[in-house]
Every structure is written in structure tokens, then in C-alpha cells.
Amino acid sequence: LSWIPKTEYISALVVLITQLSRTKVKYNGNVLLDIFKKTNSSLIRERIGFVLEESNPVIDTQELENILCDAKYGKDIGTLLLAGIKLLSKEKINSILISKFKQFSLVAIRGFRKKGGQRELEFLETQLAMGNQGKKEVKEIEKTVQKIQNRIVA
């Protein structure tokens, strides 16, 4: 994968990165994190997030965490958060999702549904009580609260 960053054509790079999502073999996902940091293309960053979520990368989880917490990437971390839900520990990703909730509420709710515990349950209940969410978010929060409550009781 070391040759991928040398590809100059964005469309070719997108196709190459997307093809990795089909592999069942573990690979060095740090190459993709490096591309994520170096590119200014939102499209490439989006594809990298999806590929890391859908495939079996071996990555430096601290590097992924650093990227997710770096404000300079803004909206471009949306799909990378999905990868973080899969690749980071529940403690790490849940802390990040709480901090990014306002900007990425549906992604955060999805992450809490998979890895949320008592803290995330209380956070979501507070969000419902504040009444700042749209209908879709309220519905998803209610489903997630139920799922977390069932997991805590079990």
C-alpha cells in the first residue's frame, strides 16, 4: 500500500481506496490515516472512513484518536468516526462521540447503540430532556436509550 500516496489523480485514488473495502485480509491502515491527514479532498477522506469501517485494517489507534480529536479536519471526520466506533475501545470512542455530538449526532447515537454504557445513557437522556433534537434524532435516541438499558440490565 505504500505506493498509494504517490497517486496523483483523485479519481484513481478514490477507486483504489474503495477497493480495499472488499479485502478480507488484514492490511496496514496507517497508510490510509496518513493520506487522510495529507489530502485536502473531502471525497478521499470520506472514502477512507468508509473503507476503514468496512475492512480489516491494522492501525495505530492513538493516531486515529488524534485525527478524530483534531478540529482542523472539521466535517471530514464524519465517516472516520464510523471507523472509530469499530476500531477504538468503547471508553475512547464514547468520549470522542460525546465531544462531537452536536456536529455528528446521528453517528454518535449509532456509536452509543453499539458501545454505550451508563454514562452515555445519562448523556442521551439529558439530550432528550433539553429538547434540542429533531424528530429523527429523538427517535434514534429513544431506540438507543432502550438498547443501552437492556444491555445494562443483562
What one-character-per-residue DSSP string does the chain give? Answer: -TTGGG---HHHHHHHHHHGGG--S-EETHHHHHHHHH---HHHHHHHHHHHHHS-EE--HHHHHHHHH-GGGGGGGHHHHHHHHHHS-HHHHHHHHHHTTTTSHHHHHHHHHHH--HHHHHHHHHHHHHT-S-HHHHHHHHHHHHHHHHHHH-
pLDDT digit string, tens, across residues 28-41: 999 889 989 998 98
Q: Minimal CA–CA distance to 76: which of 38, 112, 23?
A: 38
User: pTM of the prediction?
Assistant: 0.87
Q: Cell digits for 97? A: 462521540
Q: What is the pLDDT of residues 46-100, one digit of tens each?
A: 999 999 998 889 999 999 999 999 999 999 999 999 999 999 999 999 999 999 9
Average pLDDT, the chain: 89
Q: At residue 3, does pLDDT exceed 50?
A: no
